[in-house]
């Protein structure tokens, strides 16, 4: 037990979910390979994790030298937006930077595909989250055959280089593949059609993408295999509560390891107290 | 009682706190002119307000045509950061845009003072918050005599024009002056010196600014008087819980009046259901 009093997973979530062999067909999207087995237990733990995350994030912000970037990838309805709401929502919004990447605009297409990504990297001290990312540029083009195999290989290499560059600049990446089953996607798409408050989230093109499920799984497999100089985590995402719990713990383990420190005062503490107490200009 | 079951202030917070005559000396920074009189009551209400704000903000996001921008101004320690944490933290971070303005950089100074402001305006559908704002450019220059009286008058006019332009473009401003007493500022500055986790928030220059308290109150009075084509709200901020409550209610009243709507589907609902149920490509 640490001072927050919540459970410590026997095995770290990072060790349990890090993708070594990339074979999506052997991964159970409804699995719970580590941590709580019930929604109730996960909810309790999330409260304590939130409190600790909030403290660590404040120290990261105060330290002002490093950053964390959560990269969220997954099929439609896999829960990228849900993670932003339920996990990033645990900490002070002042230190959070959310960016989401949709189909590139005409202006974005006039640049290298990493251009729009670099523009919204989290500044020092921030906790960033990408809802989709540069990985879209090795998924859609492969499925839709928009670029050649050689161009695709170039992109994989560029992405590895780019991510090493981020690490060198003090940005720790946490790359999450939100893994869902086609059955759960169907349920969630139907829910978007059935609830008037969710209709706006549905796009008829979602079914066109769904029809290419196995091609996308193949494109993910290639991307995850070829771009893992920085590790990927496979998040079983058929259960929303398990998905949120695992990602909150990945963030927590990462921030604990980074161990950000509140900086010591860059001024003379006693002299400043004296100025305020003995020489208060407004006495 | 509305469907959220929480108290409705008899008088709206906007009506109670809108600054008509700008005479800061008659305003009590520890006052509670409207709403809850105890911390406990305010905390309970904040939970219900948070739930309704979250719903309204989701509709604003889905509607994707208008935005809200909370402008936070006030002396050091008046609680601008606290409002961001406790009020903006009530809603989904995906729809939130926080910007804070520090002393202008060399690059920013090579532009008109509104340049850096325009770059970070909230996009459609977002709830923005400015921790300090373009008002710094009519406060510091006046106190420090960096510009002439004529230049200052020009800036007041420019700001009124700019804010009308924002309204025309669908951005509703909520301008809050966080009003604290010099005694409470002293307590809070001492707390920053006494707590090692808060030392980083303290800057020796804060006391230099404090020593010009009455000059700053004068500069605020002029700015608030001359730039109220869009109204200002004076927030009694000696009590943190009252400050957070009032601003959460200003946001709530504003969003209720805007009454954002989830857009109707831009596709044929039944046809899409049929595609997914009868013709599911993954059957």
- Residue B8 domain-assigned (yes or no): no
Q: Residue B1 above 50 pLDDT?
A: no
Closest Cβ opposite residue B272 in set A84, A96, A204: A204
The pLDDT tens digits of the residues spanning B31-49 come to 999 999 999 999 999 999 9
Q: What is the CATH number of the domain that holds B197?
A: 3.40.50.300
Question: Does the residue A5 lie in any domain?
Answer: no
A-interface mutation test, from B200, B264, B274, B279, most A Cβ less than 10 A away = B200
> How many CB atoms are located within 10 Å of the residue A253 CB?
16
The answer, yes or no, to whether ipTM is higher than 0.90 is yes
Identify whether A282 is part of a domain: no
Contacts of A125 in chain B (CB under 8 A): none
The count of structural domains within chain A is 1
| Minimum distance, in Å, between the CA of residue A157 and any CA atom of chain B | 31
H or E stretch including B175? strand B171-179
Q: Chain B window 134-193: which residues touch A at a Cβ cutoff of 8 Å?
A: 182, 186, 189-190, 193
- Residue B127: closest CA among chain A residues belongs to which residue? A93
Residue A213 sits in which domain range? 13-277
Three-class DSSP category at A233: strand
A99 forms beta bridges with: A130
Predicted confidence band of residue B25 (pLDDT cuts 50, 70, 90): confident
On whether residue A166 sits in a domain, the answer given is: yes
Tell me the average pLDDT of chain B: 95
Burial code of A39-74, b = ≥16 C-beta within 10 A, e = fewer?
A: eeebeebbeebbebbebbbbbbbbbeebbbbbbbbb
Q: Is the dihedral of CA B93, B95, B100, B106 positive or negative?
A: positive
Residue B190: inside a domain: yes
| Cβ(B201)–Cβ(B258) below 8 Å | no
Residue B23 vs residue B158, higher pLDDT:
B158
Tokens matching residue B257? 């009046």
The count of residues in chain B is 283
* List of residues 6+ apart from B103 with CB closer than 8 A: none
pLDDT in tens, B253-264: 999 999 999 999
Distance, in Å, from the CA atom of B59 to the CA atom of A252, rounded to the nearest integer, reads 31
Residues A267-279: pLDDT tens digits?
Answer: 999 999 999 998 8
Choose the mutation target among A184, A193, A248, A271 for the interface with B, i.e. most B CBs under 10 Å.
Answer: A193
Q: Which DSSP symbol is given to B262? A: P
Please state, in angstroms and rounded to a whole number, the distance separating the CA atoms of residues B56 and A273.
45
User: Does the CA dihedral B86-A251-A191-A199 come out positive or negative?
Assistant: positive
The reply to whether B2 falls in a domain is no
Which of A62, A204, A282 has its CB closest to that of B267? A204
Looking at the domain assignment, is residue B4 inside a domain?
no
Share of chain A above pLDDT 70, in %: 96
Q: How far, in Å, CA of A172 to CA of A188, rounded? A: 32
B76 found inside a domain: yes
């Amino acid at each position: 037990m640490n001072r927050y009093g919540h459970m410590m997973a026997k095995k770290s979530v990072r060790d349990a979910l890090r993708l070594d062999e990339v074979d999506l067909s052997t991964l159970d999207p409804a699995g719970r390979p580590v941590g709580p087995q019930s929604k109730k237990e996960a909810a309790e733990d999330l409260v304590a994790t939130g409190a600790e995350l909030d403290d660590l994030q404040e120290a990261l912000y105060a330290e002002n030298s490093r950053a964390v970037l959560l990269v969220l990838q997954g099929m439609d309805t896999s829960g990228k937006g849900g993670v932003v709401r339920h996990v990033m929502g645990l900490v002070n919004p002042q230190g959070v930077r959310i960016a989401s990447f949709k189909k590139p605009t005409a202006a974005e297409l006039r640049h290298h595909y990493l251009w729009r990504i670099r523009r919204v990297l989290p500044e020092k001290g921030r906790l960033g989250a990408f809802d989709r990312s540069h990985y879209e540029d090795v998924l859609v083009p492969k499925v839709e055959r928009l670029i050649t195999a050689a161009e695709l290989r170039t992109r994989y290499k560029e992405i590895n280089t780019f991510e090493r560059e981020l690490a060198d600049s003090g940005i720790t990446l946490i790359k999450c593949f939100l893994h869902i089953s086609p059955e759960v996607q169907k349920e969630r798409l139907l829910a978007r059609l059935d609830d008037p408050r969710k209709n706006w989230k549905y796009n008829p093109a979602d079914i066109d993408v769904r029809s290419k499920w196995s091609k996308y799984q193949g494109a993910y497999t290639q991307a995850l295999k070829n771009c893992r100089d920085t590790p990927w985590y496979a998040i079983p995402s058929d259960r929303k509560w398990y998905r949120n719990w695992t990602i909150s713990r990945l963030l927590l383990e990462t921030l604990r390891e980074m161990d950000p420190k509140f900086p010591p005062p860059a001024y003379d503490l006693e002299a400043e107290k004296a100025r305020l107490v003995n020489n208060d200009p407004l006495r």
